[in-house]
Amino acid sequence: MREELAGHVATERSVAWDARERRINGVVRERIGAVVLAECPFVPGDAEILTVLCQALRAERSALLPFGEEVRQLQGRVLLLARMFPNDGWPNLANELLYGSPETWLAPFLAGVRSARDLARLDLDSVLRELIPPHLRPRLDLMAPTHLSVPSGRRVALDYAPSEGPVLAVKLQELFGLGSTPAVAGGKAPVLLHLLSPAGRPVQMTRDLRGFWDGAYRQVRAELRGRYPRHPWPEDPWNAPPTRKTQKRKP
């Protein structure tokens, strides 16, 4: 019977994303019209999976391509420089663009990728760095550093992920004597200071450090020096030594 119908049998290869198993599946089917005679799985090649995988990435977005903290910081740094220097050629690394067109930037790195587990192994930080033109890469650390040194001598991490721009969260005692608000992007982007209490809670958010010392500091000092007596609360923050240490208890 099969030999008699051989001229009517069509063979098709199907490649699809299985949302339940979270992987690419390939199936070869033999059919006559709507009747499936036989089917068996096969491992599709890279060229066969690209369109299907990119469609799945667009549909499931962060569920398949989670951007970790390292990637979020890189995105924020590059987006800041693109905004500050719009004519320099910095790439647009916004989530909407990346999730919406994975074939334009991720395709060269999808060789051998067939599942959500494979996607999770991708080094997305390195992938996104490849999108930065080579002549701009040395400027990334120079213009958008990951850390800033503060007067206490400590290097503090910057957070580029917030929408309001880069944030520097630091205990206010570490900034005694500093009048100018730290800035990045060649001085064009003052950071948003989250001035922290000894417990690590923000007591003031400002881009005007001088104004804080001359104004709101007095109220902060009045409210917190009794609560944290082992930390310095000088009347004159301009001439106090910056420190991250506590004071010795008085006998």
DSSP characters over 45-74:
-HHHHHHHHHHHHHHHGGGTS---HHHHHH
Asked if 212 and 170 touch (Cβ cutoff 8 Å), the reply is: no
Alpha-carbon gap, residue 200 to 196, rounded angstroms: 5
Single pTM value for the model: 0.86
| pLDDT band of 58, cuts 50, 70, 90 | very high
At 51, list the tokens: 């369109």
Q: Helices (H) and strands (E) in the chain — how many of each?
A: 8, 10
CA-based radius of gyration for the chain? 28
Alpha-carbon gap, residue 169 to 227, rounded angstroms: 21
Alpha-carbon gap, residue 73 to 81, rounded angstroms: 13
Nearest to 116 by CA among 20, 187, 233: 20
Could you tell me whether strands 189-190 and 167-171 are parallel, antiparallel, or unpaired per DSSP bridges? unpaired
87-134 pLDDT per residue, tens: 999 999 999 999 999 999 999 999 999 999 999 999 999 999 999 999
At 191, list the tokens: 């950071």
Alpha-carbon gap, residue 159 to 153, rounded angstroms: 19
At 32, list the tokens: 């006559």
Q: In the prediction, which pLDDT does 2 show?
A: 53
Unique residue bearing structure tokens 């909407």? 96
188-247 pLDDT per residue, tens: 999 999 999 999 999 999 999 999 999 999 999 999 999 999 999 999 999 999 999 876
